[in-house]
Structure 1
Amino acid sequence: MSNQGDHASPMRVLVTGGSGLVGRAIQHVIKQEGGAKEGEEWIFLSSKDANLMNAEETLAVFRKHQPTHVIHLAAMVGGLFKNMKYNLDFWRNNVFINDNVLQAAHEVSVARVVSCLSTCIFPDKTTYPIDETMVHNGPPHESNYGYAYAKRMIDVHNRAYFEQYGRRYTSVIPTNVFGPHDNFSIEDGHVLPGLIHKAYIAQKEGKPLVVWGSGTPRRQFIYSLDLARLFLWVLRDYPEVDPIILSVGEEDEVSIKEAADAVVQALDFQGEVVFDSTKADGQFKKTASNAKLRRYLPDFNFTPFNQALKETCDWFVANYDSARK
């Protein structure tokens, strides 16, 4: 089992999607927490640097930077309603991005690529908790099958590169990520950042906070900074080609109502909280097992949910004008 972190020459890491939620968290860990080792170079790409849907542009940016390692975060993403409307676009655009990035990495002899998948890739009909062996066991939820299948194909792609060329390209599957630099859009963002933005506005306008749905669905939330620290471990030390779920434990699952309560507390929201159960709840739960992660890292400490949420709310309030929303 060769350890990619032990190369004599320092790593040069290219991060695609470097300006998004997870990319910003990795930047923070590298720059503020001393996450980089001596002599390492880190290059964070944004969509301004290259159109990754274009094979020539992708290869050109890889040839320019000559990375030894890649963290692949770039994707076309959107909330539930956008996915339902544009499954073809989500499929095609993400297939192009992933094929271009993995092939460019192969062509410049990148030693290690870590791609970011999503728990929405798992079969809709499944047993819980979900684990890494279940990725291809049945169709994903019909609402975002285009995105889900495109992400699943990264796993197929990685196995094929390993079999044909011995490349150790792998992928991680985080649960619901949140933190500073998230997309706090109410219409198209994810549940937590949307709740934070809604509560902020309701507080300002002296109106009730209206939470969509009944509040009963349960989710595992992972703080973006915890995820960033785990990404560095995967890049340096995780030996497998098979994916690994990066998540808090099953016991740390939080209901949407508990999440709303935590937002209310973090923002010191004084108004009324109303659950609009005419709005769809989505999947009741998607509980994922982090047993594989715990086998490798039994002592990793996750930031407590309420603390991570408070830090996220504080960031949002302080950066309200420039935050994505």
Structure 2
Amino acid sequence: MSGTQKGAAGERENIAFEPGPLERSARFYVAGHRGLVGSAIWRRLEAEGFTDLIGRTSSELDLKNREAVFAFFAEAKPRYVVLAAAKVGGILANSQYPVDFLSDNLRIQVNVLDAALQHGVERLLFLGSSCIYPKLAPQPIHEDALLTGHLEPTNDAYAIAKIAGILQIQAVRRQYGLPWISAMPTNLYGPGDNFSPTGSHVLPALIRRYDEAVKTGAESVTNWGTGSPRREFLHVDDMAAACLHLLEHYDGPEQVNVGTGRDVTIREIAETIARVAGFNGETKWDTSKPDGTPQKLLDVSKLAAAGWTAGIDLEEGLRSTVKWYRENLESIRA
């Protein structure tokens, strides 16, 4: 990329960028550094030798406040940014509060991306979600399935916000030539997850449910739906490793799917969690509750072509996550 572009952010030289190692001493802002993904990325960057990491809690910096976000970027002047901050939740929360998921995420994204553009952030990774793809997309889902069909109604507001983020990244690349990229993870799990009964995704909700059943001596556990939908799960530490790998090895306008390329049924994942949690009772299924998308498996060939594949086995990851949950029950988001 070369030349000069002029736009709302003023005149700037396009950066001639070739993927390669990021400078370990450069200032690196992780937006959402206390969340599931952000905290894992922070840990990974620390382990990889980055020495000038910065983050702000939501009480320190409200990313929905445009003036505050621009003031932060003017003062901090990060060279690299990962945008992992988002309002997230499971089927119940997305169904009940679509306005919140659309409005909050749009404001967070637009504020951070506009401020990053205004203040010359060189390399930025925007994180979305696999829910951006059509409900009935061909499986496994390739990146070019984006905008080819109807979204899953239970989380369409969140999906639209994330799609807008992808398009803003692409627009910045076209208009300003900056080497910003997007990554779309599959279902994530691991330390730092949200285990709330009403706001969590399926896997942490199952962990909480089976752990409580073990503690109370319950004879049965009842889960939502039929248990037949198929889902792909990626440990958040693998996700963090993939993010850094993409920042150093990939540059292109198309979002990159991040996952394992393998899926299991919800019934199978529930059986595995029950086993690692030590629950020996009966699992029942409330078929009056929604299943959501019947299958959501990502095609990860683009990620593999960039030189990265997942390394954490699902049962191993679940065992360590259940252990972490039990050790941190008093302090986690529950």
Q: TM-score range by the shorter chain?
A: over 0.9
Moved more, 98-107 or 236-245: 236-245
Aligned residues: 318
Q: What TM-score does the superposition give when structure 2 sets the normalisation length?
A: 0.90
Distance 1:5 1:60, change over 3 A: farther
Looking at structure 1, the residues matched to 22 and 285 of structure 2 have their Cα atoms a distance apart, in angstroms, of: 54
1:36 partner amino acid: G
1:15 aligns with 2:16: no
The amino acid of 2:151's aligned partner reads P
Relative to structure 1, is the Cα distance of residues 224 and 15 closer, same or farther in structure 2, using a 3 angstrom cutoff? same
Following the alignment from structure 2 to structure 1, what is the Cα–Cα distance between the partners of residues 143 and 259?
Answer: 12
User: Alpha carbons of 1:314 and 1:8: their partners in 2 closer, same or farther (altered >3 Å)?
Assistant: closer
In terms of mean alpha carbon deviation, does 135-144 or 53-62 score higher?
Answer: 135-144
Supply the AA of the counterpart residue of 2:264.
V
Indicate whether 1:74 and 2:85 are aligned: yes
Consecutive unaligned residues of structure 1, counting only runs of 5 or more, are none
1:73-111 Cα deviation digits (max 9, x unpaired): 111222212222222232222111111101110111001
1: CA distance, partners of 2:48 / 2:214? 37
- Confirm whether residue 218 of structure 1 aligns to residue 192 of structure 2: no
Contact 1:23 1:44 in 2 (8 A): no
Once the two structures are TM-superposed, the CA of residue 120 in structure 1 deviates from its matched residue by 0.8
Partner residue in 2 for 1:203: 214
CA distance in 1, matches of 2:129, 2:227: 22
- TM-score, scaled relative to structure 1: 0.93
Letter in 2 for 1:224: V
Cα distance, 1:255–1:111 mapped onto 2, change above 3 Å: same
Q: Structure 1 residues 30 and 165 mapped into 2: Cα distance closer, same or farther (>3 Å)?
A: closer
Q: 2:49 aligns with which of 29, 36, 55?
A: 36
| Percent identity between the two aligned chains | 33
Shift of 1:220: 0.3
After superposition, where does 1:142-161 map in structure 2 within 5 Å? 142-161=153-172
Q: Does 1:295 align with 2:305?
A: yes
Matching residue's letter, 1:245: N
Q: Report deviation, 1:7.
A: 6.2
Q: 1:176 aligns with which of 171, 178, 187?
A: 187
CA contact (8 A) 1:4 1:112 kept: no
What is the Cα deviation at residue 236 of structure 1? 2.2
Q: Which structure 2 segments of 5+ residues have no match?
A: 1-15
Deviation at 1:193, TM superposition (A): 0.4
Corresponding residue of 1:274: 284
What is the match of residue 333 of structure 2? 324
Any idea what SS the aligned residue of 2:280 has?
coil
CA distance in 1, matches of 2:306, 2:278: 38
When the two chains are superposed, the root-mean-square deviation of aligned CA atoms in Å is 1.7
* Partner-residue secondary structure (3-state), 1:139: coil
SS at 2:61 equivalent: coil
Match of 1:315 in 2: 324
Contact 1:213-1:278 within 8 A present in 2 as well: yes
* Number of the residue aligned with 1:186: 197
Distance 2:158 2:305 in 1: 30
